[in-house]
């Protein structure tokens, strides 16, 4: 790994050596000519803010910064439109390019900042194409998103890294996945006698949790938490391949035509709930009925207030239970002469003798299985990647319906407690833990400092998938330096999301181990294009002037050469050939275009 990092570092030095730094080529404009720009960011992004502020100032802009202490404050300012540029990041945790663009840039995307029919059309076109076909489509998408309209300013692609105490944690049990969140259940201690009593100590930045209902949050405050609390129909391997391993299904199959998907369900996972601070088995099987309920609400933008992930699942047309085994025998596997039934039976201890509609009839040991069929609105194999996302976590129909008794149209966030609301698990007078977890862990409680989880006793007990460590504590540490200090002082066991600048510190600590791989994470600045009358909202020329003031190689040098180039959120996934090169001549050209149009 060190050799790889050294190569990246040397490559960056070569690049920086052949490109003149911005400071030597850019002259600061006079205060009278400077155009004001406000940069919004969370305090965790302060280094990026400082670099970008300096670059824009040298390029002739008058820069103000608005640093917010947490995601909630950042998002409140963003929704109020109190910014020109907002530093954001996106990790394609599903491993497929459609996820890298649909939610963010499609006009009706649940996290979209913009509306552009041409961009919408390109996203939809690419979604139906093979990887060989969609390269050209995504290249044109980037041209529209960045080159022509400058809706965003790409900064860099990151490595993904974590550091852990190898004297406490068994290194063979620590996985680092390219896309999916860190999985807790495989982790084990060097001294396995500690599994029952010692909590696994982790950390994350945000203490304000968007929602523990998997469809109502899609940010760093809950992705890892919900990934470990709710099982999904499929998972991603560490290198982004689709797998049924450690999911709710034994196997999955794609029928000929790429519009019908079948999943044969396990019968060794029940929902867990919290009573008197302990996780207990509810006795309620995580069943096909719960899958249908969960995916139908995931695709319906009106199923809950503040639904933040519906666009990820909008290609789901129908989810149903297969009730006749003949359908599986007659359906042909995509790209093969084999039947869907043969594919679903692969590796099963007991072949399929019957498919059953009710969870009461499930008995895998005797060949009675539930099989879920998912039909898409069009041929769309990327639907499988979305089913591996935390928003496709399976919730209990019984429990969610029992909690969500409010009227959706009159829902009041201040008085109504929805399923997954963090107030239900927060210590104090509001505590009334209503969570039912289908995954390997369930949250017990939280406060401003940490969240506590315990193992789900009904998640595949006595199998290789059974979680090793009984308790997990996630400590909220907003500052990256403080998080690293906590790791070095044994206050946490693993630091997920280690920054590149801290690699040397970890490598020099004998007790610590470093894991690092190229990631699907892209950091970029999005423009405020939704506030009429704000100059950057109204003028693509002004946005392009800002765009060409950004020097990615200078940013990379500030991170010891360990950042990778980016042009959009697609950059880690699709090689479009697009690159951003700082150009002061273009900065001035587009700024003059803006100024001239503003005076007309």
Could you give all domains of the chain from N- to C-terminal order, each with its CATH number? 2-158+519-599 (3.10.105)
Q: What is the pLDDT of residue 600?
A: 67
Q: What is the pLDDT of residue 499?
A: 86
pLDDT band for position 153 (cuts 50, 70, 90):
very high
Find all residues with CB under 8 Å of 412, minimum gap 6, and list them: 406
Query: Quick check: 23 pLDDT over 80?
Result: no
Tell the burial category of 281 from Cβ atoms under 10 Å away from its Cβ (0-12, 13-18, 19+).
middle
Query: Quick check: 31 pLDDT over 90?
Result: no
Q: For 250-277, what is the mean pLDDT?
A: 97
> What are the start-end ranges of the E strands in 377-457?
436-437, 441-446, 450-455
For the chain, the straight-line distance linking the first and the last C-alpha, in angstroms and rounded, comes to: 57
Of all residues in the chain, the percent with pLDDT exceeding 70 is: 94
pLDDT band for position 599 (cuts 50, 70, 90):
confident
Query: Quick check: 60 pLDDT over 70?
Result: yes
Q: For 132-140, what is the mean pLDDT?
A: 95
Query: 182-191, 285-294, 372-381: lowest mean pLDDT where?
Result: 372-381
Which whole-number Å values give the CA distances from 326 to 254, 256, 331, 345, 596, in the listed order? 16, 16, 9, 14, 71
Q: For 411-420, what is the mean pLDDT?
A: 94
| Per-residue pLDDT tens over the stretch 209-228 | 999 999 999 888 999 999 99
Q: What is the pLDDT of residue 13?
A: 34
Any idea what the Cα angle at residue 237 is, between residues 187 and 100, rounded to 5°? Answer: 115
Between 30 and 228, the higher pLDDT residue: 228
| Per-residue pLDDT tens over the stretch 329-361 | 999 999 899 999 999 999 999 999 999 999 999
Three-state secondary-structure class, residue 37: strand
Query: Quick check: 30 pLDDT over 50?
Result: no
Query: Quick check: 387 pLDDT over 70?
Result: yes
Query: Quick check: 21 pLDDT over 50?
Result: no
How far is Cα 523 from Cα 542, in angstroms, rounded to an integer?
21
Find all residues with CB under 8 Å of 364, minimum gap 6, and list them: 266, 267, 268, 350
Q: What is the pLDDT of residue 130?
A: 83
Q: What is the pLDDT of residue 179?
A: 86
**Average pLDDT of every residue of the chain:** 92
DSSP state of 595: H
Query: Quick check: 28 pLDDT over 80?
Result: no
Find all residues with CB under 8 Å of 291, minimum gap 6, and list them: 233, 248, 263, 265, 319, 372, 394
Query: Quick check: 17 pLDDT over 60?
Result: no
How many Cβ atoms sit within 10 Å of the Cβ of residue 36?
10
Q: For 515-520, what is the mean pLDDT?
A: 93
Instruction: Kindly report the length of the chain.
Output: 600
How far is Cα 5 from Cα 504, in angstroms, rounded to an integer?
11
Three-state secondary-structure class, residue 50: helix
Contact 103, 111 (CB under 8 A): yes
Q: What is the pLDDT of residue 9?
A: 37
Three-state secondary-structure class, residue 309: coil
Q: For 524-548, what is the mean pLDDT?
A: 95
Query: 15-29, 448-462, 473-487: lowest mean pLDDT where?
Result: 15-29
The reported pTM is 0.80
| Per-residue pLDDT tens over the stretch 543-564 | 999 999 999 999 999 998 999 9
Q: What is the pLDDT of residue 7?
A: 39
Helix, strand, coil share of the chain (percent; to 5) = 35, 25, 40
Q: For 379-406, what is the mean pLDDT?
A: 95
Query: Quick check: 10 pLDDT over 80?
Result: no
Question: Of 270, 266, 268, 271, nearest to 419 (Cα)?
Answer: 271
Tell the burial category of 169 from Cβ atoms under 10 Å away from its Cβ (0-12, 13-18, 19+).
buried
Structure tokens, 209: 């949790």
Of all residues in the chain, the percent with pLDDT exceeding 90 is: 84
- Interior/surface letters 136-147, b for 16+ CB within 10 angstroms, e for the rest: ebbbbbbbbbbe
Q: What is the pLDDT of residue 569?
A: 97
Q: For 389-414, what is the mean pLDDT?
A: 95
Query: Quick check: 20 pLDDT over 60?
Result: no
How far is Cα 484 from Cα 476, in angstroms, rounded to an integer?
12
């Amino acid at each position: 790994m060190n050799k790889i990092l050294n190569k990246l570092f040397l490559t960056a030095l070569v690049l920086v050596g052949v490109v003149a730094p911005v400071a030597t080529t850019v002259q600061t404009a006079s205060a009278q000519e400077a155009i004001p720009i406000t940069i919004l960011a969370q305090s965790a992004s302060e280094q990026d803010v400082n670099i970008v502020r300096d670059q824009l100032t040298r390029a002739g802009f008058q820069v103000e910064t608005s640093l917010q202490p947490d995601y909630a404050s950042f998002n409140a300012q963003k929704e109020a439109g109190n910014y020109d540029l907002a530093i954001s990041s996106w990790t394609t945790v599903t491993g497929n390019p459609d996820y890298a663009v649909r939610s963010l840039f499609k006009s009706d995307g649940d996290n979209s900042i913009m509306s552009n029919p041409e961009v919408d059309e390109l996203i939809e076109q690419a979604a139906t194409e093979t990887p060989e076909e969609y390269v050209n489509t995504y290249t044109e998408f980037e041209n529209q998103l960045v080159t022509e309209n400058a809706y965003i300013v790409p900064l860099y692609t990151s490595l993904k890294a974590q550091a852990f105490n190898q004297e406490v944690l068994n290194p063979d049990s620590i996985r680092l996945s390219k896309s999916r969140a860190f999985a807790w259940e495989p982790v084990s201690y060097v001294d396995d006698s500690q599994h029952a009593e010692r909590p696994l100590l982790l950390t994350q930045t945000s203490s304000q949790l968007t929602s523990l209902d998997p469809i109502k949050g899609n940010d760093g405050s809950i992705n890892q938490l919900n990934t470990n609390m709710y099982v999904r129909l499929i998972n991603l391997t560490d290198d982004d391949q689709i797998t049924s391993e450690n999911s709710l299904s034994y196997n999955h199959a794609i029928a000929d035509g790429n519009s019908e998907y079948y999943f044969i369900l396990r019968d060794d996972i029940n929902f867990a709930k919290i009573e008197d601070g302990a996780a207990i088995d509810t006795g309620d099987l995580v069943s096909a009925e719960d899958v249908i309920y969960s995916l139908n609400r995931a695709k319906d933008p009106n199923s809950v207030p503040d639904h933040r992930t519906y666009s990820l699942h909008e290609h789901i047309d129908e989810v149903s239970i297969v009730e006749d085994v003949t359908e599986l025998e007659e359906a042909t596997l995509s790209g093969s002469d084999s039947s869907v039934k043969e594919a679903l039976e692969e590796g099963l201890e007991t072949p399929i003798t019957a498919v059953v509609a009710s969870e009461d009839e499930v008995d895998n040991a005797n060949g009675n299985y539930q099989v879920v069929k998912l039909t898409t609105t069009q041929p769309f194999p990327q639907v499988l990647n979305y089913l591996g996302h935390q928003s496709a976590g399976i919730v209990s129909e019984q429990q969610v319906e029992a909690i969500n008794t409010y009227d959706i149209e009159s829902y009041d966030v201040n008085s109504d407690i929805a399923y997954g609301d963090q107030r239900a698990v927060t210590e104090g007078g509001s505590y009334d833990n209503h969570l039912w977890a289908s995954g390997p862990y369930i949250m017990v409680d939280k406060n401003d400092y940490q969240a506590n989880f315990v193992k789900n006793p009904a998640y595949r007990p006595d199998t290789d998938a059974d979680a090793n460590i009984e308790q997990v504590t996630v400590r909220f540490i907003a500052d990256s330096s403080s998080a690293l200090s906590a790791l070095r002082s044994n206050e946490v066991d693993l630091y997920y999301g280690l920054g590149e600048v801290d690699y040397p510190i970890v490598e020099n600590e004998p007790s610590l181990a470093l894991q690092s791989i190229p990631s699907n994470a892209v950091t970029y600045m999005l423009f405020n294009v939704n506030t009429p009358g704000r100059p950057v909202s109204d003028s693509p020329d002004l946005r392009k002037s800002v765009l060409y003031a950004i020097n990615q190689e200078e940013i990379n040098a500030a991170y010891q050469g360990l950042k990778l180039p980016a042009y959009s959120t697609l950059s880690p996934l699709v090689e479009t050939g697009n690159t951003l090169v700082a150009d002061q001549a273009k900065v001035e050209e587009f700024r003059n275009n803006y100024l001239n149009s503003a005076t007309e």
